[in-house]
Structure 1
Amino acid sequence: MLEKIKSPEDLKTLHSLEIKALAREIREFMIEKVQRTGGHLASNLGVVELMIALHSVFDFKKDRIIFDVSHQSYVHKILSGRRDEFNHLREFGGISGFTDPLESVYDVFKVGHAGTSISTALGMKTAKEVLGRNEKVIAFIGDASISNGVAFEAINHIGHLKKNLIIILNDNQMSISQTVGGFAKHLSRFISGKFYNTIKQDLESFLHDIPVIGDSVNQTIKNLKKTIKKQITPNIFEEFGINYIGPIDGYDVEQMIKIFSNSDYLSDEPVIFHVLTKKGKGLKEAEENPTFYHGLSSSLKKKEDSFTAVFGEKMTEIAKKDPKIAVITAAMTDGTGLNQFSEELPAQYYDVGIAEEHAVAFAAGLAKEGLKPFIAIYSTFLQRAVDQIFQEVSLQEDINPVFVMDRSGLCGEDGPTHHGAFDIAYTRFFPRAVLISPKDGRELENMMEWAKDQNNPVFIRFPKGGFYSFPESKAIEYGKSEIILEEKEAEFTVFSYGSLTGEAYLMKDFLSKKFNLVNLRFAKPLDMETILYFAQKKLPIIVVEEHSLAGGVGEAVASLLMEKGFNNPFLRLGLEDYYYPHGERSLLLQTAGLDSKNLSVKIARWLA
């Protein structure tokens, strides 16, 4: 059946049994492909029938669907003609694990962050009305993302604009980890409340039977229906002026097609369809462990020690010794390596949901009253909280949390929405901020021990994946770097920042020239003494970093040398002014020229 579906048009002629067969085949197809390539399996298994229903009713070549985060868009991609490309899902040169307009006319935005779909969809719907167009616009959002502050801002604006926007609330009661917070509990009351569901069924039957006579009476009856419904079954969406329809069985395709096609719901007002799904549907292991199956690694990828694992183990060790340590994450318990911590030290652990801005402000409050917060958030997601870093942290004199920024640099298969290319730039300009990055796992442990005792906000960055392990790691001193190599016959000096120190060190296997190598450790404050010591040798200077060259540590070193009057030949190597694609991290490093072999080639050419 699946082989017959070349485009959404092919869905419109299917009968009930064929739709069930198609859903089963789509699940089998995704399980086979994603377990090999890696990707977001559980969330996509849960929305198969929902996607079939949406594509059966709407024409997404002209109507628009904007996915929140868009990791749950695999079925959408399969139905819109990209099935044959799933052999290379998330691989370098293959299709993305998120929506991407460069792939298909069916994709609208390139996105991977949460909470933004309703805002974007509302803007598009407003623009269509201004331009006299009446195509439908749908925001597809999960129960975890809708609790994000940006989503609530959009919902508030919808109530003011009253645009005919359609929101699909995919409620599987999970984000990456278990959904947390009062809003999740509010939604669950709709699902589990026997009184609500009984009243809802009786009410809908009653309202459906009210006759309609003429246009004016029709509008009066519609208003009466809404008034009665609001009084008997109130909910937060109705209070914001959004017509609420649900809960809806996310596996009854015929019912969903009927509901989505009902012109009463889609005429002139905003509407939210609350659809119940199950993460991991159709794969027993994924249903029982949806967190593990949320994001699978490729079965072909070799396992390695990772910064994430080191952080999680060391964090647990540190916090067991100090009850004033508090660890905060934003719906990323597993991704930040904190599963063990959350199980062993639940009283010291706070998962705030997909709410990075709140996480930072919450941490500031904890610090104000005497706790020491560690905030574990991916680099790309922490940039959502820049204002809170400014006001609630840097501007204060006594608020000194530790920020742990995993996935800094090139994060791999999740691609440009998840690469952490900008965190040095968006943190270094803040007064009091201290920026550090470890060369390997042992140095990360030392930095964590050091950071917990500092009276400044400390930002620790490290990439996804493994590292080259050095035989030793000297004690961390404030603003001091570490000399790895100092050669009498050195022909140039390399300053490296973070895990690329390992790649820089391995250049000795490719270069005939000897060189000095300094592990900067600190991007702020810079180790002025050591930098100037090597600058005085009059040798060419090279700075290597896995960060955007604009705003990176290379710029900081260059500024220092210029201010001090040095004119050594100078080269910065890092991430160019470009959004790097998705793919295996090692391939992306090669593409960026930041692996040991390509670094050697670049430097040799520059010195020639």
Structure 2
Amino acid sequence: MRVTDIQSPKDIKSMNVRQLENLADQIRTFLIESIARTGGHLSSNLGVVELTLAMHYVFNAPKDKLIFDVGHQCYTHKILTGRAQMFPLLRQRNGLSGYQRMHESPYDCWEAGHSSTSLSAALGFATARDLLKQNYEVVALIGDGSLTGGMAMEALNDIGSKQKKLIIIFNDNNMSISRNHAGFEERITALRASKVYRSTKQGMKSNLKNNKMGQNVLKQVTKVKDHIKDGVIDAPLFREFNLDYIGPVDGHNLNELINVLETAKEHDGPIVVHVLTRKGKGYPYAEQDQTGKWHGVSPFDVKTGEPLMKLPYDHLTWSEVISRTLMRFAKKDKKLVVLTPAMAQGSKLLEFSKAYPDRFFDCGIAEQHTVTMAGAMALGGLHPFVSVYSTFLQRAYDQMNHDIGRMKLPVVIGIDRAGLVGQDGDTHQGVFDIAMLRSIPNLILSQPQDAAEAQNLLYTAFRSGKPFCIRYPRGNVKYEEVTDLQDIEIGSWTKTTVGTHPKSIVITYGPDVDHVIAKAKTNNMDLIVVNARFFKPVDGTMIDELYETGLPIHVFETDCRIGSLSTAILEYRNRVAPQFQTFGIDDHFVEQGSVRSLRIQEHIGLEDLFEELEQDV
């Protein structure tokens, strides 16, 4: 059977193990060749080919719920559910999503994009199933990286408490959690997964439950079994959460995988299936990668592994601009430290981590922890920089608010991949951080026009002594090192006049400043282009000047409108020249007090409203 001929998981149900192994090889080749043309997540998908085949062989989706944590490793799942022919449009507009999408297929029961949600979703499905008296299996596939997320740990705790029937497949590709008992542990796993053992166990349990003496015998046997498992077999992490466990099993051995999943399927209550896989399996460049380079890739040459698109010699990615500048600062500032929630490769911080290993902290997939830790580092006298993707910073809003903004802690936040990111889709577009952060008192929020301004903003941020956020997009920019670094006045904007008699004003930010200027010159248009490099605070003086010109003003931005730069401008102008009266709490944190006293303090009592209304009469 060709990969593109597969219409549903039913097509593999009658295959024997040898045929499934052959299909796995075909899928691996298909994935490498396809992703080489379109780009996408490579290593993670190559690592779970056999595991995904075994899941669909043993379970009956879409009735059974198969949940892929993050979802970027679901390419084989998409192939087995009839979507192989759509891979030429992988991650393209109106094409195949790189993640599970419910509108795309009934086999996609859950949508993710961010990590560590699968276990909570699994417990939710299991609870709904039991309350509605339905009958289906719930299976969550989660990797060792995602298991570092706090949400996953919260879910494990609840799953162990509620003891619902569900299966957690723990995809371990670096053996970072379990103890290794080698041959003995493998033989125990093989025994538990054998058909003879499973049938004998079920028969013994049924017989012993028939009378009181048998129930006592069963209870004692269970105690002995648990004692052996606690001391020898199980990964201690899962036993601490009161979860049964089986494994580890070779994640590339289909016969073993099928037997172990059949065993888990018969288990009462929650069980963890520990699977050992190799990321990038089948493609040498990806297999040998230790940095995450082959996690997500742009189109590449299969033979050489080289990307098909290369940056101009004088360009760097925005991430590299920030990273190089941090390296320069770290040479002089011994207190400068860098933190990231598992984004060292993506944010180009590996060079920093090698140069300053004792000042670099990869906190795992734990955005909340990373931000709060940085805050305490600042209180302890260090100068922390946190590098985090815009889409993942959403997870740390509470910490940005309570632990950074409220305490006015001098932490510099680098918001990487800000704005539209393209093919990763709606879960990854970094278009919400402006609106999210503008509401937090004491925070400064900025974005540089070019690489030179990025270096000066970072210089300003560390010298400001305030919570300071710098957002920058995916992509590249022309780079030249700024030797004479300058402080930028916080809240200041700049403007450029194109032509001699401007007829319009464009307010924008980031790389679009230069793009607008260039296009205006090409089209011989006369206009004023404003570099609104600060979203908070805004440049009130310049806004007033722009309004006074009487020219049409266009605020051009590529992030969400609600809470945007244009919103900030309108808010400012309404305070200066009110067109309608507003009430609310100003840009500060409200201390304790009775609700009545606080409403009086903040001028949001009914008395304040009616005083204004009386002036309207």
Q: TM-score, normalised by structure 2?
A: 0.84
Do the aligned residues in 1 keep the contact of 2:499 with 2:524 (CA within 8 Å)?
no
Match of 2:588 in 1: none
Match of 2:448 in 1: 438
User: Is the counterpart of residue 534 in structure 1 residue 527 in structure 2?
Assistant: no
User: Is the counterpart of residue 359 in structure 1 residue 370 in structure 2?
Assistant: yes
Q: Secondary structure at the match of 1:453?
A: helix
Matches within 5 A, 1:495-574: 495-509=507-521, 511=523, 513-565=525-577
Q: Over residues 112-140 of structure 1, what are the superposed CA-to-partner deviations in whole Å (9 max), with x where a residue is unaligned?
A: 10111100111111011111111111111
Matches within 5 A, 1:64-463: 64-173=65-174, 185-187=176-178, 189=179, 191=180, 212=204, 214-216=207-209, 217=214, 220=219, 223-224=222-223, 226-233=225-232, 234=234, 235-262=236-263, 266-289=266-289, 291-299=292-300, 301=309, 303=311, 305=315, 306-397=317-408, 399-463=409-473
Q: Over residues 94-115 of structure 1, what are the superposed CA-to-partner deviations in whole Å (9 max), with x where a residue is unaligned?
A: 1011111111111122311011
Distance 1:475 1:483, change over 3 A: farther
Residue 477 of structure 1 deviates from its aligned partner by 1.5
The whole-number CA distance in structure 2 between the counterparts of 1:261 and 1:113 is 29
Do the aligned residues in 2 keep the contact of 1:69 with 1:114 (CA within 8 Å)?
yes
Task: Write the letter of the residue equivalent to 1:228.
Answer: H
Larger displacement relative to structure 2 (6-15 or 500-509): 500-509
Distance 1:114 1:286, change over 3 A: same
The whole-number CA distance in structure 1 between the counterparts of 2:187 and 2:20 is 29
The whole-number CA distance in structure 2 between the counterparts of 1:99 and 1:495 is 38
Distance 1:335 1:77, change over 3 A: same
Residue 344 of structure 1 deviates from its aligned partner by 1.6
Give the CA RMSD over aligned residues.
2.5
The whole-number CA distance in structure 1 between the counterparts of 2:480 and 2:529 is 13
Match of 1:590 in 2: none
Distance 1:255 1:276, change over 3 A: same
The whole-number CA distance in structure 1 between the counterparts of 2:478 and 2:528 is 18
Q: Over residues 401-450 of structure 1, what are the superposed CA-to-partner deviations in whole Å (9 max), with x where a residue is unaligned?
A: 10000111101111111111110111111111001101111211111111
Distance 1:192 1:349, change over 3 A: farther
Residue 343 of structure 1 deviates from its aligned partner by 1.5
The whole-number CA distance in structure 2 between the counterparts of 1:155 and 1:408 is 32
Task: Write the letter of the residue equivalent to 1:493.
Answer: I
Distance 1:469 1:194, change over 3 A: closer
User: Is the counterpart of residue 2 in structure 1 residue 2 in structure 2?
Assistant: yes
Residues matched between the structures, number: 553
The whole-number CA distance in structure 2 between the counterparts of 1:366 and 1:469 is 31
The whole-number CA distance in structure 1 between the counterparts of 2:564 and 2:481 is 28
The whole-number CA distance in structure 2 between the counterparts of 1:486 and 1:533 is 17
Task: Write the letter of the residue equivalent to 1:423.
Answer: D
Match of 1:580 in 2: none
Do the aligned residues in 2 keep the contact of 1:468 with 1:502 (CA within 8 Å)?
no
Distance 1:261 1:221, change over 3 A: farther
Do the aligned residues in 2 keep the contact of 1:88 with 1:94 (CA within 8 Å)?
yes
The whole-number CA distance in structure 1 between the counterparts of 2:100 and 2:561 is 27
Q: Secondary structure at the match of 2:242?
A: coil
Q: Secondary structure at the match of 1:558?
A: helix
Distance 1:204 1:28, change over 3 A: closer
Q: Secondary structure at the match of 2:275?
A: strand
Residue 488 of structure 1 deviates from its aligned partner by 5.0
The whole-number CA distance in structure 2 between the counterparts of 1:5 and 1:153 is 38
Greater length-normalized contact order (CA 8 Å, ≥ 6 residues apart): 1
Residue 192 of structure 1 deviates from its aligned partner by 5.7
Residue 475 of structure 1 deviates from its aligned partner by 5.5
Distance 1:395 1:444, change over 3 A: same
Distance 1:83 1:199, change over 3 A: closer
Do the aligned residues in 1 keep the contact of 2:67 with 2:139 (CA within 8 Å)?
yes
Q: Over residues 372-393 of structure 1, what are the superposed CA-to-partner deviations in whole Å (9 max), with x where a residue is unaligned?
A: 1000000010110111112221
Residue 224 of structure 1 deviates from its aligned partner by 4.0
Do the aligned residues in 1 keep the contact of 2:42 with 2:294 (CA within 8 Å)?
yes
The whole-number CA distance in structure 1 between the counterparts of 2:375 and 2:221 is 49
The whole-number CA distance in structure 2 between the counterparts of 1:95 and 1:204 is 37
Q: Which runs of 5+ in 2 are unaligned?
A: 301-307, 580-617
The whole-number CA distance in structure 1 between the counterparts of 2:256 and 2:192 is 18
The whole-number CA distance in structure 2 between the counterparts of 1:98 and 1:2 is 23
Q: Over residues 2-33 of structure 1, what are the superposed CA-to-partner deviations in whole Å (9 max), with x where a residue is unaligned?
A: 34532211111112221121111111111101
The whole-number CA distance in structure 2 between the counterparts of 1:201 and 1:128 is 31
Do the aligned residues in 2 keep the contact of 1:496 with 1:517 (CA within 8 Å)?
yes
Larger displacement relative to structure 2 (268-277 or 491-500): 491-500
Residue 282 of structure 1 deviates from its aligned partner by 1.0
The whole-number CA distance in structure 2 between the counterparts of 1:365 and 1:284 is 42
Q: Over residues 564-590 of structure 1, what are the superposed CA-to-partner deviations in whole Å (9 max), with x where a residue is unaligned?
A: 2288xxxxxxxxxxxxxxxxxxxxxxx
Residue 485 of structure 1 deviates from its aligned partner by 2.1
Identity %: 38
Q: Secondary structure at the match of 1:404?
A: strand
Task: Write the letter of the residue equivalent to 1:143.
Answer: D
Residue 215 of structure 1 deviates from its aligned partner by 4.9
Match of 1:589 in 2: none
The whole-number CA distance in structure 1 between the counterparts of 2:181 and 2:281 is 20
Q: Secondary structure at the match of 1:546?
A: coil
Task: Write the letter of the residue equivalent to 2:278.
Answer: K
The whole-number CA distance in structure 2 between the counterparts of 1:53 and 1:459 is 46
Residue 523 of structure 1 deviates from its aligned partner by 0.6
Larger displacement relative to structure 2 (210-219 or 323-332): 210-219
Task: Write the letter of the residue equivalent to 1:152.
Answer: M
Task: Write the letter of the residue equivalent to 1:223.
Answer: T
Mark the structure with the bigger radius of gyration. 2
Do the aligned residues in 2 keep the contact of 1:440 with 1:470 (CA within 8 Å)?
no
The whole-number CA distance in structure 2 between the counterparts of 1:325 and 1:32 is 43
Q: Secondary structure at the match of 2:66?
A: strand
Residue 47 of structure 1 deviates from its aligned partner by 0.7
Residue 203 of structure 1 deviates from its aligned partner by 8.8
Do the aligned residues in 1 keep the contact of 2:390 with 2:415 (CA within 8 Å)?
yes
Task: Write the letter of the residue equivalent to 1:105.
Answer: P
Distance 1:200 1:95, change over 3 A: closer
Larger displacement relative to structure 2 (371-380 or 216-225): 216-225
Q: Over residues 186-240 of structure 1, what are the superposed CA-to-partner deviations in whole Å (9 max), with x where a residue is unaligned?
A: 32x2x36667557777899998777716151485477346423444335221221
Q: Which runs of 5+ in 1 are unaligned?
A: 174-183, 568-608
The whole-number CA distance in structure 2 between the counterparts of 1:53 and 1:256 is 6
Q: Over residues 134-189 of structure 1, what are the superposed CA-to-partner deviations in whole Å (9 max), with x where a residue is unaligned?
A: 1111111001101210000001111221110111111112xxxxxxxxxx7432x2
Do the aligned residues in 2 keep the contact of 1:422 with 1:548 (CA within 8 Å)?
yes
Q: TM-score, normalised by structure 1?
A: 0.86
Q: Secondary structure at the match of 1:214?
A: helix
Do the aligned residues in 1 keep the contact of 2:417 with 2:472 (CA within 8 Å)?
yes
User: Is the counterpart of residue 18 in structure 1 residue 26 in structure 2?
Assistant: no
